[in-house]
Amino acid sequence: MAKNWNPADSGDGGLCYRTLVAETKAAIAAARSKHITLRLRAFAWIQGESDANTADAPYYEKALGDMIAALRKDLYSPKLTALLAVNTKFGGGANSFISKIVEAQQAVASKDFYSTYVDTSSSSVVNPLHFDSAGTLDVGHRLADALLRIEANGRLFASASPGKGRR
Show Cβ contacts of residue 127 under 8 Å, excluding neighbours closer than 6 positions: none
Q: Is there a domain that residue 12 lies in? A: no
- Cα angle value 60/47/158 (rounded, 5°): 80
Show Cβ contacts of residue 130 under 8 Å, excluding neighbours closer than 6 positions: 87
Q: Is there a domain that residue 27 lies in? A: no
Query: pLDDT tens string for the chain (167 positions)?
Result: 988 999 999 999 999 999 999 999 999 999 999 999 999 999 999 999 999 999 999 999 999 999 999 999 999 999 999 999 999 999 998 999 999 999 999 999 999 999 999 999 999 999 999 999 999 999 999 999 999 999 888 765 433 333 334 44
Burial state string for 68-101 with b = 16 or more CB within 10 A and e = fewer than 16 = bebbbebbebeebbbbbbbbbbbeeeebebbebb
Query: What is the domain-level CATH number for residue 142?
Result: 3.40.50.1110
Beta strands in the chain (DSSP E): 42-46, 81-85, 115-117
What's the predicted TM-score (pTM) here? 0.88
Q: Is there a domain that residue 25 lies in? A: no
Q: Is there a domain that residue 62 lies in? A: yes
User: Using one digit for the tens of pLDDT, what is the confidence trace for 52-82?
Assistant: 999 999 999 999 999 999 999 999 999 999 9
Structural domain count, the chain: 1
Q: Is there a domain that residue 11 lies in? A: no
Quote the pLDDT of residue 153: 83
- Short-list 26, 92, 69, 16, CA closest to 47: 16
User: Using one digit for the tens of pLDDT, what is the confidence trace for 143-157?
Assistant: 999 999 998 887 654
Show Cβ contacts of residue 35 under 8 Å, excluding neighbours closer than 6 positions: none
Q: Is there a domain that residue 15 lies in? A: no
Q: Which residue range is the domain that position 82 belongs to?
A: 40-152
How many H-runs (helices) and E-runs (strands) does the chain carry? Answer: 4, 3
